Structure 1
């Protein structure tokens, strides 16, 4: 998914602009698998109001359509080209907006679920992004974050290569560091699951509740 930071390095945003039209085909296995793993770790109902931060081409939102009314689904991403693909695949009732995780353009306590998949490693200020996610989340709402996991050697190598190749300040966390980060932000009942997608990608999904 595209980076959702307000001051993203140009190479990151430019890369996602270039990839947008072909992104789903190129990354279909990884995206579908990581979205499936994410959705398996939290339940939704027709009464939920859900924000996908770093929604990219809208794959996760498309999987929620039919389970949640489209007008109760929202997506946020920094890359207009990725959002154009999302709009083409999603029900017209789904709201998708250009914006970043550190300055989420919604009112306080708007959502019952805030989810972010495959974007957190691009957030330059993770603490601020978490504060924003919690700000727009209602009391008792669920925060769900899926991202690369630093506990896997293959992910460590991939991050080093990407930093050198794109000069991008990517940061990934291990399971315990992720749990600590969320708990320090005030998230309660944090559970972090680790798993593999293919032979390269070691991921984790963190689920917690706002007090």
Structure 2
């Protein structure tokens, strides 16, 4: 894949894929993802520390897709001022036309250059930065830091693992992404260093384990998540042949 053509750029311009993906996302409007439940609880924790005398608690979901996480936050954590940022125009159209998302503002925003300064109490990047090269990843961290208020919280969900010296970038070619989709497996120490250099403290990792079992796909062309039971009865999450080291990340702006 050409270094100058980044996967996230290709992703947001692939309208055929996005139509299928947006339709796939519809089921999570009623069934909350287990990983989203963790994010919602982390948002609750941040909200519980909020001083209402300093104004409304503002949250930006950057890379919000069709707005499922924002919908659940609206329903489960009342009192938040919610903003959805997304590059894919088709996803923004879905959000803006959904009456269940009324009251949430949606904008075309790029995580690498968020056009706000000291605006938000929380920024959530839910399975977004997993596609970035390291230089883009560091730029995204700086961009989010700039857009957060002092003491604000950055929350993310991506592939992060504890093996210090194993830094992996793959190109996954599937029916959905015939040209290949870049996915990065990042070591925790290097991620922590990037966020500390960007102006964050208390960089904390929460490795995610699915509390439910997911069936294997019915045919090998279908590359989706499924679980394998470990010897100690944990649900290990795979995608095709790959183990997925999903992890929640939280960090506080200095």
Structures share fold, TM-score greater than 0.5: yes
Give me the whole-angstrom Cα distance separating, in 1, the residues matched to 2:206 and 2:199: 19
Matched position secondary structure for 2:19: helix
Indicate if the aligned counterparts of 1:147 and 1:203 stay in contact, CA closer than 8 A.
yes
Q: 1:187 aligns with which of 200, 216, 240?
A: 200
Q: Which has the larger radius of gyration?
A: 2
Which whole-Å deviations, capped at 9, do the CAs of 1:11-39 have from their partners, x for residues lacking one?
56305423244121577899712211222
- Higher helix residue share: 1
- Structure 1 pair 30/208, CA: closer, same or farther in 2 (3 Å)? farther
Unaligned runs of 5+ in 1: none
Greater length-normalized contact order (CA 8 Å, ≥ 6 residues apart) = 1
Cα displacement (A) at 1:98: 1.5
Give the aligned length. Answer: 202
CA distance in structure 2 between the aligned counterparts of 1:94 and 1:55, rounded to whole angstroms: 12
Structure 1 residue 132 and structure 2 residue 175: aligned?
no
CA deviation vs aligned residue, 1:154-183 (integer Å, no higher than 9, x gap): xx9995434994333332313333222212
For the 8 Å contact 2:152–2:253, the answer to whether it is kept is yes
CA contact under 8 A between 1:110 and 1:136: conserved in structure 2? Answer: yes
CA offset digits 1:47-102 (Å, max 9, x no partner)? 410001111111111111142446x1001111111222223154321111112101
Deviation at 1:140, TM superposition (A): 0.7
Tell me the equivalent position of 2:57: 48
Q: Does 1:103 align with 2:103?
A: no
Partners of 2:208 and 2:148 lie apart in 1 by 27
